[in-house]
Amino acid sequence: MKGSVIYQDILEKGKKKGEIEEALKLVMLLLNQQFSNLEERLINKIKTLSLNDLEDLAMSLLDFKDINDLDAWLGYPEL
């Protein structure tokens, strides 16, 4: 069973989901440290990001000066 394609697919999907959850957790910790009380609309948008996007956001947020930079990165117009 462990060698079956279906079993391997399930394992891979579970691994990917875990990686996304950990990346999301880290990004949210960093964002909450930099910008307290994030708006729900921002949190909801961040939760939809792929693993690659979460990694890109983690690197980009080091350069964010204020919440408008996060808005722009997420594709929202400036407030």
Does the pLDDT at position 55 exceed 60?
Answer: yes
The reply to whether 24 falls in a domain is yes
Please report the pLDDT score of residue 70 as a whole number.
95
Q: Do 31 and 38 contact (CB within 8 A), yes or no?
A: yes
Specify the pTM.
0.79
Average pLDDT over residues 21-41: 94
Number of domains in the chain: 1
Look at residue 44 and tell me whether its pLDDT is greater than 90. yes
Rounded (10°) angle between helices 5-34 and 40-47:
150
Q: How many CA atoms lie within 13 A of 52 on its CB side?
A: 0
pLDDT at residue 15 in the model = 85
Residue 60 lies in a domain: yes
Q: Is 79 part of any domain?
A: no
Over residues 8-26, the pLDDT tens digits come to 888 888 888 899 999 999 9
Domain that holds residue 37: 5-73
Nearest-angstrom CA–CA distance, 45 and 62:
19
- The per-residue pLDDT for 48 is 96
